[in-house]
Structure 1
Amino acid sequence: MPKWRRLQENVLFLFPSVILTLALGIYPLVWVLRYMFYDYAGYGQELFIGLDNFRRLFRDQLFWDSVVNTMIFAGGKLLLTIPLSLLLAVILNAGFRGRNLLRAVYFMPTVVSTAVISVVFYILFNAYNGMVNQQLLKFGAIGEPINWFGPDYAMLTVILVAVWGAIGNYMLLFLAGLQNIPRDLYESAAMDGANGVQRFRHITVPMLGPVMQVIIMLAIIASLKGYESIMVMTEGGPIGKTEVMYLYLYKLLFPVSTGSPVEQQIGYGSAVGFATALIVGAITLLYSYLSRKMNRVF
């Protein structure tokens, strides 16, 4: 086949992807980079204001509070999700009847709409007639109903809901890694007298090292960007206790809920979005650096 013909075919194959990337990736990015320097509310006059949006950003306590809340939310979610997912994967990787059904049950939250999950848990954790409080009162664990969406427990509640929704996805990835570990290694270790904990520590964990690095990376990004369930259950409240970065950004760009801080501000929202992307990117790069250190451990 002539080179020009092969080049023509390659261009035709790549053309749809290039168009979609330009339309849905490059153009929105350029659009956001432009409006960072404008006072623009989505309609009317565009006023060039230079770096005023960034000066406002550094003085915006709501934004910096949302950064702190995001770190708390992401840290709590990661600390619970990764170990529980690994534990479930190890249990369900064993040979017992009904394991395929349990795998499907634990994976099901991943394919259910986040909005549906959030509404269900909002009803379950309702302070007055929610099932969680009813069961805790029934067994005498508490003396009076707990306001799970109050200032003291709201962050814990949204973290638990996020963990429940994400655990099945990472469990499946861990299962895929476990099934690629040769069984001969476990049999040889057992013959040498290694118990279950020792086999897990010296065989399972090192062999899962590359898979675990990818899972942790995906979990970090998803945790930092997560806001949908929070928006449904608390809208960032009460008094901003669950306001995370992407929820605050959403309220600036699409102020359709009662929890929106002010009117639509596309110019300032673009600056907030840029700063948010830098924070997420910096954390991702930090983890990439640390993951190279992890290669020496696993």
Structure 2
Amino acid sequence: MNKTKNAAFAYSFLLPSALLTLVLGIYPIAWAFRYMFYNYKGYGTARFIGLDNFSRILRDAEFWDSVVNTFVYAGGKLLLSIPLSLLLAAILNRKIRGRQLLRAVFFMPTVISTAVMAVVFFTIFNSYNGILNQFLIKFNISSSGIDWLGPKHAMLTVILVAVWGAVGNYMLLFLAGLQNIPEDVYESSSLDGANKIQQFRFITLPMLGPVLQMVIMLAIINALKGYESIMVLTEGGPAGKTEVMFLYLYKLFFPVGGSSASTQVQEFGYGSAVAFVSAVIVGMISLIYFYASRRMNRID
């Protein structure tokens, strides 16, 4: 009897989480799986069309352009954020003055809302009266400012904003890994004549390997799925230059100003198919990296 009461007591705590998972997790996925095969715009009757949505994806140049933009965006973010995070972690792991304050400052962007962060950067990078262009003009660095959100620089701008928001989180993970490396290892290598660069190459990086693999995996997934700051900064423009997969998907479900993805009409059926294909792409990239990292571990 006591076991039954204890079990009922335990399940009563699990029930709210289970209900939330069912309503907010499993049901929407099942709903999307169903409407992948329907022509449904959010109103009227859903019409079964089989695989027509997927054949439409194959012909949808805008979607595939967004896939290319996603890889450019993710690649730029990874190439900048991972080394910068590791460098900051290595610096802030040393006994320097004010390191606790610096850690808090670099971590602060992580706790700021992405939308709020993007609005702040929009005021900085605004091409007409942005803070950065005013600074460049005032000090005669540029005569008329730079079109930061224009076709030529928009992708670089959104990548820099994404890096600013991601560095603090990855820095903290690297910092935790660095603090788990015993000091005795560095002291022994110093006695053997190893310099700082050699210690970093042959001690720090190998012993930081598991953390590095985890950080890269998180960074890949977050970069491939990210779109919020881009939506605020450019809405995918100009002319689709910064439109990434999940922003394109968002526009299919929730059309926004200037959207060409859905011609200002909700596309729930087609959007569900795009969501499935996008999830498959992200999953395939993650599996490729996971397989490659396991192969590297075997080689080591």
TM-score, normalised relative to structure 2: 0.94
Code of the residue aligned with 2:270 in structure 1: it is: Y
Deviations 1:23-46 (A, max 9, x none): 222111110000011111111111
Contact residue 209 and residue 295 of structure 1 kept, 8 A: no
3-state SS of paired residue (2:159): helix
Deviations 1:248-267 (A, max 9, x none): 00000011433353210100
The residue number in structure 1 matching 2:295 is 293
Code of the residue aligned with 1:264 in structure 2: it is: Q
Shift of 1:22: 1.8
C-alpha separation in 1, matches of 2:212 and 2:281: 23
Stretch deviating more after TM superposition (55-64 or 141-150): 141-150
3-state SS of paired residue (2:255): coil
C-alpha separation in 2, matches of 1:116 and 1:6: 45
Contact residue 252 and residue 260 of structure 1 kept, 8 A: no
The residue number in structure 2 matching 1:92 is 92
C-alpha separation in 1, matches of 2:21 and 2:83: 36
Deviations 1:155-174 (A, max 9, x none): 00000000011100000000
Code of the residue aligned with 1:258 in structure 2: it is: G
Contact residue 249 and residue 269 of structure 1 kept, 8 A: yes
C-alpha separation in 1, matches of 2:235 and 2:165: 18
1:46-57 correspondence to structure 2 within 5 Å: 46-57=46-57
1:24-173 correspondence to structure 2 within 5 Å: 24-138=24-138, 140-173=140-173
Stretch deviating more after TM superposition (123-132 or 221-230): 123-132
Code of the residue aligned with 1:288 in structure 2: it is: F
C-alpha separation in 2, matches of 1:197 and 1:139: 38
3-state SS of paired residue (1:67): helix
Code of the residue aligned with 1:292 in structure 2: it is: R
Match of 1:283 among 257, 261, 285: 285
Code of the residue aligned with 1:43 in structure 2: it is: Y
- Percent of aligned pairs with the same residue? 67
C-alpha separation in 2, matches of 1:75 and 1:245: 14
C-alpha separation in 2, matches of 1:15 and 1:118: 37
C-alpha separation in 1, matches of 2:14 and 2:131: 53
Structure 1 unaligned spans of 5+: none
1:164-243 correspondence to structure 2 within 5 Å: 164-243=164-243
Code of the residue aligned with 1:20 in structure 2: it is: L
For residues 228 and 81 of structure 1, do their structure 2 counterparts lie closer, same or farther at Cα, with a shift above 3 Å needed? same
Stretch deviating more after TM superposition (122-131 or 45-54): 122-131
Code of the residue aligned with 2:294 in structure 1: it is: R
Deviations 1:222-250 (A, max 9, x none): 00000000000100000000000000000
TM-score, normalised relative to structure 1: 0.94
> RMSD of the alignment, in Å?
1.8
C-alpha separation in 2, matches of 1:39 and 1:296: 48
Count of paired positions? 298
Contact residue 251 and residue 257 of structure 1 kept, 8 A: no
Deviations 1:145-200 (A, max 9, x none): 21111111100000000001110000000000001111110111111111000111
Contact residue 66 and residue 248 of structure 1 kept, 8 A: yes
User: Structure 1 residue 264 and structure 2 residue 260: aligned?
Assistant: no
C-alpha separation in 1, matches of 2:31 and 2:111: 32
C-alpha separation in 2, matches of 1:164 and 1:249: 25
C-alpha separation in 2, matches of 1:296 and 1:202: 18
3-state SS of paired residue (1:41): coil
Code of the residue aligned with 1:85 in structure 2: it is: S
* Runs of 4 or more consecutive aligned structure 1 residues displaced over 6 Å after TM superposition: none
Code of the residue aligned with 1:233 in structure 2: it is: L
